[in-house]
Amino acid sequence: MSYFISSVAHSVAKKGSNSIVRCSKPSINKTHMRWLNLQEYQSKSLMEKHGVNIQRFKTADNPTDARQIGKHLLDTITSELVVKAQILAGGRGKGTFSSGLQGGVKLTKHIDEVESLVSKMIGYKLVTKQTPSDGVLVQRVMICESLNIVRETYLAILMDRDFGGPVIVGSPCGGVNIEEVAAQQPDKIFKVAVDITQGLNKSDSLQLARDLEFPELLIEEASDQIHRLYKLFLAVDATQVEVNPFGETDTGRVIAFDAKMNFDDNAEFRQKEVFAMDDKLEIDDREREAQEYNLNYIGMDGNIACLVNGAGLAMATMDIIKLHGGEPANFLDLVVMSKKGRFYKHLNYSHPTQR
């Protein structure tokens, strides 16, 4: 489903235009295939390497390790912990586990509770508004220091097709569904279109920090963090870097409290370290094998197989099937092929049981 991951931020970029900085449109044409998606803890690791302020954290894949990590953090740097389930979906805080636990983001000051919470997260499926109806299996949790957030903003950097380059989208209304903000308060959405050949201007990042309503004492730091996020965006060939919330703490720091990053698969040849972070744990088994053959494949729940030459025609074919009451079993773009073995795989993956 990686074709559709970035739809929220991209749709917001089309709405609300209270403050738009326009540059001459670069003559750049790019065709994207799939987008790599990393877990929050992996995205935050990349941010930390590029000087972006984040909460200190470690991850665990079992309750015992989670307890040890939590104890170390409580003994050394914090009086409260945040326990966050790691899946490739938003809305975790309001999600429900198959264990019965409510919420995939928990606060606690007690080490015994860390182990108890994690035992009800790892090995169970978490259902949110962005997961399949049966949820996604949680296999890792993130244990991090709790910081007091006094104000939440929203910040995203994405490649915009209409502009032909990066666009930074921000709002002083963070920590909530940004699409709702764009629909209900379009004057609270601010955008900066960046000429990729010139880079982000200091004056633009300062103005965006003010648009996000940071106090004057934090304008410089907020501007610096926006610059660091933009440099990260370019350095790793990202298609999207989304931080929600991009927050202000009670100690006067600007922190990226959440992180979602997508990457252009066409850049894999020069981003081998980044792509090696993809554990593929949440990818459907058919999709995982299809990627080995470089097939543009997404499995679905229907029973009508689709084998189409061209992504646009494939989407149209799926629309026609739905229009006439059918359900497509897959999205499969034939793309350019030169080997009969690969063509056989296309036929096999168009649907393994339906012919």
Catalytic residues, by residue number, are 154, 242
| Distances, alpha carbon 87 to alpha carbons 3, 81, 99, 163, 243, in Å | 17, 19, 16, 31, 16
**What values do phi and psi take at 109, rounded to 5?**
-110, 0
| Contacts with 249 (C-beta within 8 Å, 6 or more apart), sequence order | 147, 148, 149, 150, 255
Amino acid at 55: Q
Q: How many Cβ atoms from other residues are within 10 Å of residue 66's Cβ?
A: 28
Q: Residue 309 in 3-state DSSP?
A: coil
CA 50, CA 76: separation in Å to the nearest integer? 24
| Distances, alpha carbon 67 to alpha carbons 71, 81, 140, 265, 282, in Å | 6, 11, 13, 37, 25
User: Count H helices, E strands: the chain?
Assistant: 11, 17
Judge contact between 289 and 262, C-beta under 8 A.
no
Longest pairwise C-alpha distance within the chain:
66
